[in-house]
């Protein structure tokens, strides 16, 4: 456990992988950043900075726990000695995965309506059907084949945010408050809830990455730089939206609206990247849900994967009719508040396992 690895993840690879885990379609659309940060006007900037710090600290902490324990099993990273706690977090992850999949369906229908002008229900049905078919054919390979979409979309989004910030006519420091649209009651609470729900799924990926890191130094630096990258991107997009209040307030997909407003070709490009990101996220989530349920040997119906895919897809379709903006504003905060327990568990486990990691510090 204390030996430096000749192979494994270096700090740069970890720093690039971490944003890929967090930055998805909800983030890139701008809607969740608006509800968690933009609704608080200028104070949302401080909130986004705090979120970046939390991502850095918790990301590094999660990976160090994995190294200290000598395992990439996220259940042991969260709570190695409590089956009850592990069952709770497994149920939470399952619920959250389904909820995010529904949000992806709703986002796709909203984007479809914005781009084509057709009824959003058509977009939802087409999206759900495509996702279900791909999963039935083997969705994991498809997700991997489109792994490049998130980095490219992040670059396009960052460039667009800079342009929006430099050309927008709004004021960042005097940006109006929209507390009726905020996901949390106070800007100081927002970063903790925001990071909390993101860590629910991130811990599943960061645990094996931390275990496979070349050294403690790589794990720590990778976590810090990766978290800072997430925070920096959120801040950049937030600043662009604050200076373009109309796009931020009147659209389910603020970033797409800004892109389309700048140039129709940029709008199409961003819409395409956003749709691919939505599809790959939904495919990955549905695939994971089916596999997770199939692991329950004592429930025979879960072994029929085709039936499970159809049932979950239909339920997700009906759930998407609630609407993208409302779902983001309801599910993410709710899960975030519950997920605060995960952060507490990580802190407790980190300090408990620090003694185990002392011998590993020689490879720092």
Domain assignment present for 362: no
pLDDT at site 142: 61
Are 218 and 59 in contact by the 8 Å Cβ rule? The answer is no
> Which residues touch 232 (CB under 8 Å, ≥6 apart)?
52
Domain assignment present for 3: no
Domain assignment present for 75: yes
Q: How confident is the model at residue 97 (pLDDT cuts 50, 70, 90)?
A: confident
pLDDT at site 1: 47
User: Is 52 buried (19+), middle (13-18) or exposed (0-12) by CB count in 10 A?
Assistant: buried
pLDDT digits (tens, 9 = 90+) for 253-297: 888 888 888 888 888 888 888 888 788 888 888 888 888 787 777
Domain assignment present for 5: no
Measured CA to CA, the distance from residue 295 to residue 281 in angstroms comes to 21
Q: Any idea which residue has 């800004």 for tokens?
A: 258
Vertex 340, ends 36 and 64: CA angle to 5°? 110
Domain harbouring 289, CATH code: 1.20.1740.10
Domain assignment present for 6: no
Domain assignment present for 363: no
Measured CA to CA, the distance from residue 95 to residue 98 in angstroms comes to 5
pLDDT digits (tens, 9 = 90+) for 109-141: 989 998 888 999 999 999 999 999 988 887 656
Domain assignment present for 2: no
pLDDT at site 194: 95
pLDDT digits (tens, 9 = 90+) for 5-54: 556 789 988 888 888 778 777 787 888 899 999 999 999 999 999 999 99
Per-position DSSP letters for 341-356, written without gaps between them: HHHHHHHHHHHHHHHH
Q: How far is CA 198 from the centre of its chain?
A: 5
Measured CA to CA, the distance from residue 331 to residue 103 in angstroms comes to 9
Domain membership of residue 143 as a residue range: 11-353
Helix (H, G, I), strand (E, B) or coil at 148: coil
Q: What is the pTM of this model?
A: 0.84
Q: Any idea which residue has 């620090």 for tokens?
A: 354
Q: What number of residues does the chain have? A: 364
Domain assignment present for 293: yes
Say how many domains are in the chain. Answer: 1
């Amino acid at each position: 456990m204390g030996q430096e690895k000749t192979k494994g993840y270096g700090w740069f690879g970890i720093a690039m992988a971490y944003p890929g885990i967090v930055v998805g379609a909800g983030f890139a659309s701008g809607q969740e950043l608006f509800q968690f940060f933009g609704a608080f006007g200028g104070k949302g900037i401080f909130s986004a900075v705090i979120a970046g710090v939390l991502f850095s600290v918790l990301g590094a902490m999660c990976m160090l726990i994995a190294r200290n324990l000598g395992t990439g099993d996220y259940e042991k990273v969260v709570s190695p000695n409590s089956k009850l706690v592990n069952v709770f977090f497994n149920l939470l992850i399952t619920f959250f995965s389904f909820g995010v999949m529904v949000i992806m369906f709703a986002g796709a229908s909203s984007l479809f309506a914005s781009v084509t002008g057709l009824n959003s229900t058509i977009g939802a049905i087409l999206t759900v059907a495509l996702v279900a078919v791909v999963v039935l054919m083997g969705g994991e390979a498809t997700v991997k084949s489109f792994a490049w979409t998130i980095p490219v979309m992040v670059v396009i989004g960052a460039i667009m945010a800079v342009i929006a910030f430099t050309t927008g006519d709004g004021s960042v420091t005097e940006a109006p408050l929209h507390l009726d649209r905020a996901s949390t009651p106070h800007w100081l609470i927002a970063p903790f809830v925001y990071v909390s729900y993101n860590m629910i799924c991130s811990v599943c990926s960061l645990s094996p990455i931390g275990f496979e890191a070349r050294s403690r130094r790589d794990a720590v630096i990778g976590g810090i730089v990766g978290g800072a990258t997430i925070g920096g991107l959120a801040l950049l997009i937030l600043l662009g939206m604050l200076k373009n209040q109309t796009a931020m307030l009147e659209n389910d997909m603020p970033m797409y609206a800004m892109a389309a407003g700048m140039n129709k070709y940029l709008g199409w490009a961003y819409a395409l990247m956003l749709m691919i990101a939505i599809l790959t996220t939904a495919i990955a989530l549905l695939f994971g849900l089916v596999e997770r349920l199939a692991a329950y040997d004592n429930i025979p119906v879960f072994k029929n994967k085709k039936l499970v895919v159809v049932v979950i897809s239909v339920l997700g379709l009906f759930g998407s009719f609630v609407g993208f903006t409302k779902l983001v504003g309801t599910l993410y905060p709710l899960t975030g508040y519950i997920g605060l327990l995960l952060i507490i568990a990580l802190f407790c486990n980190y300090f408990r396992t620090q003694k185990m990691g002392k011998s590993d510090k020689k490879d720092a």
